[in-house]
Amino acid sequence: MTGDIWHPLSETLIGASVGYAIGSLLAVVSAAVLANSKWAERFLMAHVMAFQAIPKVALAPLIFIWCGFGLLSNVILVAMSCYYPVFANAFVGFRATDPNLISMYRAFGSSKSRILLSVQLPAAASYIFVGLEVGVVFALIAEVVMEFISGRPGLGSLIQETAATLDSASAFGALILLAFLGIGASALVRFARWHAVFWDRRHDTAGVKELAPQ
Over residues 169-180, mean pLDDT: 84
**2 φ, ψ (degrees, to nearest 5):** -105, -175
Per-residue pLDDT tens for 126-153?
999 999 999 999 999 999 988 888 777 8
Question: Taking 60 as the threshold, does the pLDDT of residue 194 lie above it?
Answer: yes
CATH class of 17-207: mainly alpha
Over residues 78-105, mean pLDDT: 91
CA 106 from centre of chain: 32
58 against 188, higher pLDDT: 188
Average pLDDT for the chain: 84
The pLDDT value recorded for residue 37 is 86
- Say how many C-beta atoms besides its own lie within 10 A of residue 51's C-beta: 13
Residue 212 — very low, low, confident or very high, per pLDDT cuts 50/70/90? very low
- Torsion, CA 119, CA 120, CA 122, CA 125, rounded to 10: 180
Per-residue pLDDT tens for 196-208?
887 776 555 444 3
Residue 53 — very low, low, confident or very high, per pLDDT cuts 50/70/90? confident
